[in-house]
């Protein structure tokens, strides 16, 4: 067997490509704040804020089921039915797996021409808590598989629609759903305007940490905007996230076999590597290859002297993760530090081309793992110390890109199943403001703020879009469910 190869070479410049601007004035120099604001206001000519309202499918709209089938061709075949089963749970879980469908739809919607590094899949479940390298808890966007330079409006529309869809799933009435979506978009607009007026470094360093969250929750409780029960639930989420780390993941996933640590099998959700490549790779080959790959991965990490150097490879297994990501190759890697009581769990996740690349200029990075990592480092207030990338040639001879990070490092997220209207308002405000902070770092905050302005015109337009797109999502979900019922798609739940 040929040892997997890894290419960690720097690729293209970090300068983001700009889509055609359709007459939008060229951006002003970064130090010309007045010029940047003027460019933002001028963008309203080509894309008035009210033009973002509503959604109706064009006559030549691609079949959503066909788009899902196209995606399945590059995924692990035996895992695709698990993906479909998870998407089949509800219109909201379908939406989580429908990033390509929505990217196709968004490509025909109005855009200001102001480009930012965008998440590409900014639904409400892709926000949450995690630990910074300084071990503080931070609330931020936490999924960047689809990140690419593109219209910032696409992220706002995907986030707003996710709140409308989740609120419908929870049975909220029309009034509550509209309030939640308007709150989300208003929080984005107001935070972006604050960032545009802030001192430069204040805008870059701005973030929402656990201490600020606790103060915010207390203010909301004092103002009777949330109840005591919701306050306690929020505090419990913070505490639970704090306890989630590599050690906790280790206790759940790892067993001792004959005095040797191994990731326990739970097929098809967790399959140890030796069960996948039993005929092609010996244990000695596995260890030699993995140590070589991890050594190369180290070259992509942000510190010259990095703690990864003190850990040694022990074992790995394929693990099914998420909803939309199911079927892409994801691995958990067990590392050992001083002894067996000093473990580190890493996740290596396949990075395929962004769903946005069908509709926007391609990534400047040849390696899609690097695309994910570069975008994440730009958009997040603080990124995982172990965030890096690698390229591997598998036993099937196919070269694939991966990004690596810690597994379950202080992570916590909102539970849609428990969301109330008051909690939805609070969470919408958190997510809207957080997305604005990410775009303020990764785009032109001054131009975006000037485009948005001080009125609620943009908020109202996006709320109308979210309501109409939720209707479209329900139609797509119904078509998806019919495809499963007819046997066109196979859904197999293993949980």
The pLDDT profile of the chain, 495 residues, written as one tens digit per residue, is 333 332 333 333 333 333 333 334 457 788 889 999 999 999 999 999 999 999 999 999 999 999 999 999 999 999 999 999 999 999 999 999 999 999 999 999 999 999 999 999 999 999 988 777 666 788 899 999 999 999 999 999 999 999 999 999 999 999 999 999 999 999 999 999 999 999 999 998 888 887 777 777 777 777 667 667 776 776 666 666 566 666 677 888 999 888 899 999 998 899 998 888 766 666 677 777 788 888 889 999 988 889 999 999 999 999 988 787 887 888 999 999 999 989 999 999 999 999 999 999 999 999 999 999 999 999 998 888 999 999 987 767 788 999 999 987 656 677 888 888 988 999 999 999 999 999 999 999 999 999 999 999 999 999 999 999 999 999 999 999 999 999 999 999 665
Predicted local distance difference test score (pLDDT) of residue 11: 34
Question: Which residues make Cβ contacts (< 8 Å) with residue 150, sequence separation at least 6?
Answer: 19, 115, 116, 118, 120, 356, 360
Contact 182, 456 (CB under 8 A): yes
**C-alpha span between 446 and 21 (Å, rounded):** 18
- Find out whether the peptide bond into 268 is cis, omega within 30 degrees of 0: yes
Find the helix or strand (DSSP H, E) in which 334 lies.
strand 330-336
Distances (CA, A) of 453 to 1, 332, 463: 60, 46, 17
**CA pair distance 103, 32, nearest whole angstrom:** 33
Determine the pLDDT at residue 147. 97
1 CB contacts (<8 Å, ≥6 apart)? 280, 281, 285, 395
What is the rounded CA–CA span in Å between residue 433 and residue 428?
Answer: 8
DSSP, collapsed to helix, strand or coil, labels residue 427 as helix
> Is the separation of the CB atoms in 40 and 114 below 8 Å?
yes
Ramachandran class of 96: left when φ > 0, alpha when ψ lies in -120 to 50, beta otherwise: alpha
E strand or H helix at 319, and its extent? strand 312-319
pLDDT (0 to 100) of residue 13: 31
How far is it, in rounded angstroms, from Cα 40 to Cα 196?
Answer: 12
CA-wise closest residue to 402 among 324, 318, 343, 342: 318
pTM here? Answer: 0.88
Q: Can you tell me the distance from the alpha carbon of 151 to that of 360, in angstroms, rounded to the nearest whole number?
A: 9
In the chain, what are the domain boundaries? 33-242+417-486, 246-406
Q: H helices of 170-227, where?
A: 174-197, 200-205, 210-222
Cβ atoms 40, 448 nearer than 8 A: yes
């Amino acid at each position: 067997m040929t040892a997997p190869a890894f290419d960690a070479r720097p690729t293209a410049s970090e300068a983001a490509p700009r889509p055609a601007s359709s007459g939008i004035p060229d951006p002003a120099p970064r130090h010309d704040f007045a010029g940047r604001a003027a460019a933002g206001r001028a963008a309203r000519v080509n894309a008035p804020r009210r033009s973002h309202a509503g959604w109706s499918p064009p006559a030549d709209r691609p079949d959503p089921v066909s788009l899902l089938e196209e995606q399945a061709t590059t995924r692990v075949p035996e895992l695709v039915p698990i993906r479909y089963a998870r998407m089949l749970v509800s219109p909201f879980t379908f939406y989580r797996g429908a990033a390509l469908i929505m990217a196709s739809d968004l490509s025909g919607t109005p855009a200001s021409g102001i480009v930012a590094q965008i998440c590409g899949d900014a639904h409400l479940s892709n926000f949450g808590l995690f630990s910074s390298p300084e071990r503080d808890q931070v609330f931020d966007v936490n999924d960047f598989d689809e990140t690419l330079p593109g219209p910032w409006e696409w992220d706002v529309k995907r986030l707003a629609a996710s709140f409308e869809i989740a609120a419908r799933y929870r049975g909220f009435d029309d009034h509550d759903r509209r309030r939640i979506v308007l709150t989300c978009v208003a929080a984005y607009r107001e935070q972006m305007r604050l960032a545009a007026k802030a001192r430069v470094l204040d805008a870059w360093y701005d973030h929402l940490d656990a201490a600020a969250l606790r103060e915010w929750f207390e203010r909301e409780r004092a103002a009777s905007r949330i109840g005591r029960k919701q306050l306690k639930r929020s505090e419990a989420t913070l505490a639970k996230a704090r306890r989630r780390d590599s050690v906790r993941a280790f206790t759940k996933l790892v067993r001792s076999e004959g005095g040797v640590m191994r990731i326990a099998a739970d097929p098809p959700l967790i399959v140890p590597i030796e069960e996948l490549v039993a005929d092609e790779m010996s244990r000695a080959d596995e260890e030699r290859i993995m140590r070589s790959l991890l050594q190369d991965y180290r070259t992509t990490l942000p510190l010259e002297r990095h703690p990864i150097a003190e850990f040694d490879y022990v074992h790995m297994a394929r693990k099914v993760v998420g909803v939309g990501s199911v079927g892409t190759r994801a691995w958990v890697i067990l590392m050992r530090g001083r002894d067996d009581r000093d473990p580190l769990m890493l996740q290596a996740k396949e990075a395929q081309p962004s769903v946005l690349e069908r509709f926007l200029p391609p990534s400047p990075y040849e390696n899609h793992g690097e695309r994910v990592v570069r975008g994440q480092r730009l958009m997040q207030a603080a990124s995982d110390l172990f965030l890096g990338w690698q390229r591997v040639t598998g036993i099937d001879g196919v070269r694939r890109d991966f990004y690596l990070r810690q597994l379950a490092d202080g992570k916590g997220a909102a539970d849609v199943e428990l969301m109330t209207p008051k909690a939805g308002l609070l969470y919408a405000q958190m997510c809207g403001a957080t997305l604005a902070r990410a775009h303020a770092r990764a785009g032109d905050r001054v131009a975006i703020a000037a485009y948005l302005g001080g009125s609620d015109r943009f908020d109202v337009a996006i709320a109308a879009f979210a309501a109409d797109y939720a209707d479209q999502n329900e139609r797509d979900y119904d078509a998806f469910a019919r495809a499963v019922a007819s046997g066109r798609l196979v859904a197999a739940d293993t949980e």
